[in-house]
């Protein structure tokens, strides 16, 4: 059985934003996603066979003891999906892909280590707790919101700064962040 948590992929990966399954041309038996990343709405979902979904309804404590999303959140999620399915959505996906590539190339050109790929969550591998904390503080002081991940959240030697490129960013935004990083 293949279970995929595609919380970061749906709305960001694939030609139409369908996520890891579209990007890899594979299919999961159980697909888990969130509405809280690309769609900007509270909530999440699990897809699978009817038997699997019924099992989760009956046995999943996180489902049984939680509240459903509100009608407003459901409407917002539906609107986000309709935008993704439109020509505007295709333009947004293309824009994010171009900005992600620009940012990754800029990091590499500046001598930083990253893991290149199509996903708009871009890690800057720092590999040192103190330097990661100092770099995260430098970014914050210069108006850049990025998350520093240090031990024990990640193993020693895997410390990183995590950036999230989104459709509201501009080329100027990407270049600004690269400049702030270069000034560190």
Give per-residue pLDDT as tens, 128-179. 999 999 999 999 999 999 999 999 999 999 999 999 999 999 999 999 999 9
| Architecture category of domain 3-84 in CATH | 3-Layer(aba) Sandwich (3.40)
Q: Looking at the chain, how many residues does it have?
A: 184
Chain-centroid distance, C-alpha 77: 16
- For residues 24-35, give the mean pLDDT: 93
- For residues 10-18, give the mean pLDDT: 92
Rg (CA), the chain: 19
- For residues 60-80, give the mean pLDDT: 86
- Check if the beta carbon of residue 40 is closer than 8 Å to that of residue 31: no
Q: Delimit the domains of the chain by residue range.
A: 3-84, 90-182
Q: Please say if the pLDDT value at position 66 is more than 90.
A: no
CATH 3.90.650.10 fits 90-182, yes or no: no
Q: Do domains 3-84 and 90-182 have the same CATH topology?
A: no
Q: Smallest Cα–Cα separation from 15: which of 81, 93, 108, 92?
A: 93
| Cβ density class 101-138: b for 16+ within 10 Å, e for less | bbbbebbeeeebebeeeebbbbbbbbeebeebeebbee
Cα 24 from Cα 4, distance rounded (Å): 12
Q: Smallest Cα–Cα separation from 119: which of 44, 11, 26?
A: 11
- The 10s digit of each residue's pLDDT in 84-138 is 999 999 999 999 999 999 999 999 999 999 998 999 999 999 999 999 999 999 9
Q: Smallest Cα–Cα separation from 124: which of 112, 142, 109?
A: 112
> What pLDDT does 68 receive?
82
């Amino acid at each position: 059985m293949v279970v995929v948590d595609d919380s970061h992929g749906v709305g960001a990966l694939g030609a139409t934003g369908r996520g890891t399954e579209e990007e890899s041309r594979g299919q999961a038996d159980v697909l888990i996603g969130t509405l809280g990343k690309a769609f900007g709405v509270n909530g999440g979902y699990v897809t699978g066979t009817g038997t699997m979904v019924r099992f989760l309804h009956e046995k999943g404590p996180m489902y049984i003891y939680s509240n459903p999303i509100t009608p407003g959140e459901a409407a917002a999620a539906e609107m986000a999906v309709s935008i993704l399915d439109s020509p505007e959505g295709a333009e947004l996906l293309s824009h994010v892909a171009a900005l992600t590539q620009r940012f990754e190339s800029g990091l590499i050109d500046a001598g930083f280590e990253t893991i290149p790929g199509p996903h708009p969550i871009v890690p800057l591998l720092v590999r040192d707790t103190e330097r990661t904390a100092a770099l995260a503080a430098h970014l914050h002081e210069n108006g850049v919101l990025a998350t520093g991940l240090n031990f024990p959240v990640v193993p020693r030697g895997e410390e990183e700064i995590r950036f999230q490129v989104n459709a509201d960013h501009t080329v100027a935004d990407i270049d600004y962040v690269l400049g702030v990083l270069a000034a560190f």
